[in-house]
Amino acid sequence: MYGFNPKEIKLFKTLNTPRKVQNFIDKIPINFEPTGDTFISPREVLLQNRAHCIEAACLAAAILRFHGYPPLIVDLTSKEGDEDHVIAVFKQHGHWGAISKTNHAVLRYREPIYKNIRELVMSYFHEYIQNATKKKTLRSYTNPINLNQFDTKGWTTDEKDLWYIVDKIFATKHLKILNRKQIATLRKADDIEVEAGEVIEWKKKLSPHPWIKKKT
């Protein structure tokens, strides 16, 4: 199914709820990209046992699709100087939730309790802080991008990087969440909020080298 092998299918069958998918994603070490930028496919994430946010979001979307959800990702964009973030989104009981891979105590899983995508995105606003400046930096987002459109490219099992998905993200309209007056009056984060954002889950020395793959 969708190009996955029996071992992958067996794994996916056990991950039959968004909660289980998030728990699985959390156990994958962070991809610190020691040899340069990567965007490895879901299969490569499983083989290499490493992932950063967009790689994990695509894996989560692939697993969710296996269980009948559309494979959807959303791009969260920040002001210049901070990093963007990509999440996998899903709808359950008529409300939106998100699966998120991060190395920090913030920007994590969201319960499916949000009425629409904007409401879900705004739940990340006060956590989205550039620690060096204490500024809140979340500025825009995309509506969900359906990864089904990349099936002909084999996005789930591709041995090459998925830069074509990045191209699509860049070409997709991003919806602003603030106007200039709102930005001008934003309050900086408290020290304790910055401290919380500096808590990390994975140390660099624990991340496996990219050439070490699990046996299939």
* Per-residue model confidence (pLDDT) at position 32: 93
Q: List pLDDT tens digits, range 4-59.
A: 999 999 999 999 999 999 999 999 999 999 889 999 999 999 999 999 999 999 99
Q: Where are the beta strands (DSSP E) in 104-188?
A: 110-114, 129-130, 135-136, 138-141, 145-146, 175-176
pTM above 0.75, yes or no: yes
Q: List pLDDT tens digits, range 162-209.
A: 999 999 999 999 999 999 999 999 999 999 999 998 999 998 765 555
* Per-residue model confidence (pLDDT) at position 62: 98
Interval 59-82 mean pLDDT: 95
* Per-residue model confidence (pLDDT) at position 96: 98
Tokens 């891979």 locate to 101
Interval 108-131 mean pLDDT: 97
Sign of the dihedral through C-alpha 94, 57, 41, 83: positive
Q: Are 52 and 45 in contact (CB under 8 A)?
A: no
Residue 210 scores a pLDDT above 60: no
Residue 216 pLDDT grade (very low, low, confident, very high; cuts 50, 70, 90): very low
- Angle at the Cα of 159 (from 157 to 165), degrees rounded to 5? 70
Residue 123 scores a pLDDT above 60: yes
Sign of the dihedral through C-alpha 177, 150, 163, 104: positive
Interval 136-152 mean pLDDT: 97
* Per-residue model confidence (pLDDT) at position 82: 84
* Per-residue model confidence (pLDDT) at position 13: 97
Quick one: which H or E segment has residue 43? Answer: helix 42-48
Residue 213 scores a pLDDT above 60: no
Residue 211 scores a pLDDT above 80: no
Helix (H, G, I), strand (E, B) or coil at 151: helix
